[in-house]
A and B are shown apart, each in its own frame.
Chain A
């Protein structure tokens, strides 16, 4: 789960009393917008994107207005605007109207866990408002801090001192930035980034107003659910398949699956993170999904996952591929029984499909598991090859790719006719 932009960002920051400009959503009336302009003099109109989309300013996706008509024109221009960064494409859905903060200084701040220090780490620079990657190392301070005590004002002071930040910004940041730790730590975030924070003059001091917001939540931490964010905020578009599989996400056994190619023809039930990486990489575009179902899932969970995978992908698949290394703890009999039963039930429910089944696996109860699967496949009349753990996984993946090609070139029709499918009815 990721959130970008001030529409939700301002609300989250307000929970911890961090200063934000006034932000109006897409439904703002002309009167509300006029009032905002009256108070700020100038407002920004920003498209609302789902997920972490950067470089909006550079792409001309931020509008400015000092009158309501311009604001409404910008709203119209940006409401459904499309934006591409690298190969990620995003489409806006709405805009925000934000009071413009006049400022001399723009600050970049992020909190994340940095593997170089194996600790929560503050990254800060007063050369903000640009991509952090564009700055030289001496312009940025990266300071790990104690997870037990959290993020304190002195950490900010030390950091800003190190990069020779202007004195007038230090105190307001020291006062305000530690509030971000409460947000980060209490709501299960893995990344929090404000860029820019604009140092708004207010009488004789500066207020560090957050003008853009980005955060990611740790999916393993239930704390962010306390925020009651609407599900529609979900940054990435999950497919129905992914949503169904994610429902089964419990700590007992992995159930990670992602769509690689919705036109793929090999559906791989993969066990183990390592096998997942290897198999997904080698299958490339012929694979439908990338999955990791390792971690000794109980029968019921494995059956449910298999049913979902089969329902979504077997219809278009040439090869059902069950692959993993030599399992340490995953019970092969248990998992194979679940996959076999689900396959049989799939055939019963959706009708027979001409598939070739390839298995590569090792682990506890291996032969019992293979024998069970074999009985199921024999009963369904599906051809198969099962390889032990002393066959290289990559060799098995290559075999699968050859079988897939053969299936495309007539093998599937041959199996179909052998199974009595596609004849007269």
Chain B
């Protein structure tokens, strides 16, 4: 009969094991640590840690927990899969209710631990073991707990430990050894584990499995200054446990617990923490702060002497004896155990399970190229993780966490210092040097397309620009006739492009992504990619019906012709062609549009930079872009075959969308210089951050539909939000500058504003105006008129009070044109104007040429000749300036719409009533 099973009050003074003369130890063998007979009461059972751990322990151990305590919670219970555990206010109450137990597990907060332990021992004479999980128990209390346990003949474990688990008995007492699935890590075998680290107790058990070693008892000792059941007691019990043929001891610096051990069975000791000598404070384990005699180096020496080795066991230098080995890295434990045991002729308990090589479960390079030796690719994980990972990986694209997106954006930002905004991380200054179509694509897929991508985008955008015979065109025309502003008429057109009109193309996009999602395709231009398997799936009636039709689709054919003409390779288009060929059907225009969108979206989708939601919405956005350009062209200029006088097929096969937009606005194909200038105009205006009115309109529209159910959000309505949130003051004010310039130069006989030899003295004109304006302003002010005519586009709130009166965007564009040798009379005049305004002290404000002026001077230069020839009028100028702004800004708002849709919460743009004001 072992001592521990005796009734401890059989003795006046508790007598423990013979082996320990100076203090009480009741546990003779590791087999007694956690037995199937042990019955447990958990103190503070409803605390957060216990609530998650205790049910697992209870179930794993076949129901060894009879009750728990929680002050004030008497009558409640802790649910587990095998029945509820009753909860009482106190241990006394639990005992009065008839519960009998020999183990107390303590989850009580640190300040209460001492009293809880004393009380549990006091009222329950049958108590033989106390396991204290609590961290940060004061030293003073630990002393008393130790002494009290000694006096009463109770074995105490911890504190700050994770308790005990016995894989053979399938019993876990105390903490969470083996985590939520103990049987995964705790496999019956022949090795006992003693570990100062709770986490490493389980980790070592898992590591041992990789060499085929299972465990008997895993004991997490804790590493406070007081380790109540420590290395000497463990070692004695290990010797007396017939199941345990070897032990792993994981020890940290500090304390003399291990110094005088002697071993009769093999031991692999892992001593970690040489670096801790550099610390003057305990980090992690309170007791792991050492003096000179008990630091890691000293402990390595102790064990090396005991185990008869002269060096640390490593892979390169596997030093060991039949007595054991010393390692300083837990990864070396399995190999050391096998090496030590083989010297005594012992072989592992079972076949190795897994190995410790690097097994990557998730990887992403975000588009960079890692050197091959660092490029560790994901491998299949062990079950059950494999199945869980598969589910995660089936997810294509990113899923962004949702948050309130009021006045916030993940798509754009404005630097308040420089006023230079970024769209998808690209500065508007850089965007200004890219084509219109590239910026539109950037807005959706968060990166610029390559040459093939741009070509495909041009095919798609041009394929839908001709609105002949469509209600969109009628709506725009009607709105225009009724005297609406350009944005309002475009809004009418876009409003009609509802979900029903784009459903087939969105469905086709979803189908294509589904077909390709698990194929490992990374480069959509790789036409050699084997699509035979995909073809089989795509041939199913359901899929085929979404991508092809019975009869030829003229627009679809035109797009395919355009793609061929442009020489672009695309595996998605290839699939449509093959499918059509095999089935004798015809790719629909919707499917070709979807294929183009999938092609563009694929790389960011695979790199998890884009969501599936956005990829599926892309055809809708493309249709909106085309519709806006199409609807800005009068009905008379659109026929079934021609748009603005150019054949549809010619546009699809050969024109860039920038050229088409220019054609729409200015009725002709642009030359190289015009194209450059026009791209700059639109690039500069793509965004001004999420705070700008147009962005607010778009975001509000998304928010009101409820982005948490993205399917319900009407993309075209979001663009309507954008368009209704532009107007004469926001977007149309470039026209003010044009009118101002016309007033200055209309009568001066300027023929070509691009000719530097214009013979005008711009400085003098500017000076005359400044003087004149000063007089006007003074008289207006003295007459009390504060709403006098201001000079357009020379103010900027941000640059107030600065010595330097330059808008960095304007400077950038000015330099860009200058580097191309392009001259703009109006732009130069504006520079002279701000200088003159400063020189004549017109205002204390510092003037600068702002970005709206840039738009005005570029546009006016383009339109100057037809204007002076009387071919276009004031109204046209206004319309042109406004529409150009809208064309440019649509890119930024496309990005805001998708950003808000992916990140936002329902109705997150509203302002709390408490923040609103009532004014009289």
Contact = CB atoms under 8 A, between A and B. Distances in A.
Given A220-B137, A383-B365, A256 B283 contact: yes
A274 B330 contact: yes
Contact of A402 (B368, B373, B381): B373
B401 A341 contact: yes
Nearest to A340: B401
A378 B185 CA distance: 31
B199 A324 contact: yes
Interface in A35-92: 51, 88
B361 interface: yes
Interface stretch (A22-30, A102-110, A287-295): A287-295
B250 A274 contact: yes
A395 B331 contact: yes
B199 A395 contact: no
Nearest to B369: A414
Contacts of B362: 359, 370-371, 374, 384-386
A274 B139 contact: no
B371 A406 contact: yes
A14 interface: no
A403 B288 CA distance: 30
A252 interface: yes
A172 to B, nearest CB: 27
Contacts of A364: 52, 179-180
A331 B53 CA distance: 11
B376 interface: yes
A148 interface: yes
A424 B254 CA distance: 55
A237 B151 CA distance: 42
A218 B138 contact: yes
The binding surface of chain A is classed by DSSP as mixed
A414 B368 contact: yes
A395 B400 contact: no
Interface in B429-468: 429-430
B179 A386 contact: no
B272 A278 contact: yes
B225 interface: yes
A392 B207 contact: yes
B284 interface: yes
Given A256-B282, A328-B175, A388-B361, A420 B203 contact: no
A329 B53 contact: yes
A371 B398 CA distance: 11
Contacts of B197: 272-275, 277
A385 B360 contact: yes
Nearest to A409: B371
Interface string B254-285: 11110100000000000011111011111111
A344 interface: yes
Residue of B139, B255, B429 with most chain A CB atoms under a 10 A cut-off: B139
A316 interface: no
Contacts of A123: none
Contacts of B185: 326
A119 B361 contact: no
B140 interface: yes
Interface in B56-84: none
A278 B206 CA distance: 17
B427 interface: yes
A116 interface: yes
B436 to A, nearest CB: 20
A136 interface: no
B97 interface: no
A190 B282 CA distance: 13
A424 to B, nearest CB: 6
Given A273-B196, A393-B203, A148 B388 contact: no
Given A251-B134, A326-B206, A328-B178, A402 B256 contact: no
B146 interface: yes
Contacts, number: 316
A406 B367 contact: no
Nearest to A344: B401
Residue among A236, A275, A325, A368 with the most chain B CB within 10 A? Answer: A325
B892 interface: no
A89 to B, nearest CB: 12
A375 B427 contact: no
Contact of B176 (A257, A272, A329): A329
A94 to B, nearest CB: 21
A339 interface: no
Interface in A172-218: 185, 188, 190, 218
A118 B232 CA distance: 12
A284 B206 contact: no
Given A256-B283, A383-B364, A273 B223 contact: yes
A254 B284 contact: yes
A220 B136 contact: yes
A277 B272 CA distance: 6
B415 interface: yes
Interface stretch (B351-359, B507-515, B673-681, B750-758): B351-359
B257 A115 contact: yes
Contact of A274 (B52, B144, B196, B230): B196
B371 to A, nearest CB: 6
B696 to A, nearest CB: 19
A411 B275 contact: no
B226 interface: yes
A296 B392 contact: no
B601 to A, nearest CB: 15
Contact of B177 (A223, A277, A284, A328): A328
B374 A329 contact: no
A377 B330 contact: no
Interface string A359-373: 100111111101100
A235 B680 CA distance: 63
Interface in A244-284: 251-252, 254, 256-258, 260, 271-278, 280-282, 284
A378 B401 CA distance: 11
Interface in B380-417: 381-382, 385, 388-389, 392, 398-401, 410, 415
A381 B140 contact: no
B366 interface: yes
B252 interface: yes
A115 B255 contact: yes
B273 A378 contact: no
Contacts of A374: 362, 364, 392, 608
A390 interface: yes
B199 to A, nearest CB: 3
Contacts of A365: 180
A252 B400 CA distance: 30
Nearest to A250: B136
Nearest to B283: A256
Contact of B110 (A220, A254, A341, A363): A220
A258 B279 contact: yes
**Most chain A CB atoms below 10 A, which of B199, B256, B357, B415:** B199
B314 to A, nearest CB: 11
Contacts of A419: 366, 425
B374 A402 contact: yes
A147 B358 contact: no
Among A222, A258, A277, A382, residue most surrounded by chain B Cβ atoms (within 10 Å)? A277
9 contacts: A113-B226, A118-B23, A118-B228, A218-B140, A325-B200, A376-B401, A384-B364, A386-B363, A390-B356
Given A328-B202, A362-B206, 13 more contacts: A254-B284, A273-B223, A273-B284, A284-B275, A290-B275, A328-B199, A331-B52, A364-B180, A368-B388, A374-B392, A375-B399, A387-B361, A392-B356
Interface of B: 23, 48-49, 52-53, 109-111, 134-141, 143-144, 146-148, 151, 162, 175-180, 185, 195-203, 206-207, 210, 223, 225-228, 230, 250, 252, 254-257, 259, 272-276, 278-288, 294, 328-331, 354-371, 373-374, 376, 381-382, 385, 388-389, 392, 398-401, 410, 415, 418, 420, 422, 424-427, 429-430, 607-609
List 10 A-B pairs, minimum CB-CB distance, nearest first: A274-B197, A272-B199, A378-B608, A274-B200, A325-B203, A420-B425, A273-B284, A147-B143, A392-B331, A328-B176
